[in-house]
A and B are shown apart, each in its own frame.
Chain A
Amino acid sequence: MKKILLVDDSRTSLFMERMILQQGPYKLLTACDGQEGVERALAEHPDLILMDVIMPRMNGFEALRELRAQAATRETPVILVTTRGEPANVEEGYEAGCSDYLTKPIDPEELLAKVRSCLAA
């Protein structure tokens, strides 16, 4: 069973992502900010990370750069899931090393397709 780490300070977003993904063959873990997200990723070695961008303590871009700097998580696919859909933010996300980018409100079908694609790669 693939392990997916959900990182978001919004309980609503975490709730929604869980509802969409819990029907699939995934074990779901959560973290409520970038710092906790990095710590859980290093401890749990998820197969995929869904990461919000605007978060306290450490934002998604910073967390992503930290994950890419660590050997254990350098290759872990990360999908940024955020309300920040401006081109500049999307570009920064890819420059920081994300595998894909998804804007909120989340389209469940799009999320599932991107999750499957990242896990299959």
Chain B
Amino acid sequence: MDPRDVSLRLNRLERLLAGLPAEANALWDDLTAVKQHLAQRQVALQTAEQELLRCGEQLGEQQRRCAIAAGQLVAIRRLQSTLERDQMLLALEEVVASLVGCEELAVFESDGSESRLVHTVGIAAEALEAHGLAQDVARRAAVGDIWIDEKKGAVERDKPRLTACVPLEVDGRRVGTLALFRLLEHKAQLEAPDIELLDLLKVHVGVALVATRAGQAA
């Protein structure tokens, strides 16, 4: 090789090597900036993930509320769809079975201080007397508020038991009582949405009872 070529190459190499520290420093500065940017993006991502989680929880809650509202709307529509007492009681039976999860119920109608049994589903009138349930209902109903059996854990299923007692009202006046007995086997207990629905039934079944009573009298 020509010594002049070697010299040129060495000079070029020397210049390159002389520039390396500066270039390395520049690269190091770039790397540091990228790291900082990445850290900021990670913080933003974490914030977005938390926000997404929060929105997901809110969406879940809204969906839950919509489902509850849908059940309530269905119940109201069914109960107010007829002036025929038989059809109204059938609608009530369906609402309690399909939306609450109970196929044993009794409806009492009140006229002043008198209360009489007008309808049962899944439980005979005689059984109400035999198991003392009619008295149980009367005692719970006298309190004036919705009563729910708070008993937890496994319950006896071989005999009927009162699970809920709902006073039926129109204009604040007691017109009857709805009593629910054993729940469906796969339903452990009444939940908050069920109690919300029962609170709705307190008025709407009361109104339906009075409206269909007028229809019966006609």
A residues within 8 Å of B by Cβ?
10-13, 15-16, 19-20, 83, 85-86, 103-109
Contact = CB atoms under 8 A, between A and B. Distances in A.
B184 A83 contact: yes
Secondary structure of the B contact surface, majority rule: helix
A104 B97 contact: yes
B71 A11 contact: no
A105 B100 contact: yes
B91 to A, nearest CB: 7
Interface residues on B, range: 20 to 34
A108 B67 contact: yes
Given A85-B185, A103-B184, A108-B70, A12 B101 contact: no
B39 interface: no
Contact of B78 (A12, A83, A106, A107): A12
Contacts of A109: 63, 67
B98 interface: yes
Contacts of B71: 16, 105
B74 A104 contact: no
Contacts of B70: 16, 19-20, 108
Contact of B97 (A10, A15, A20, A85): A10
A85 B63 CA distance: 25
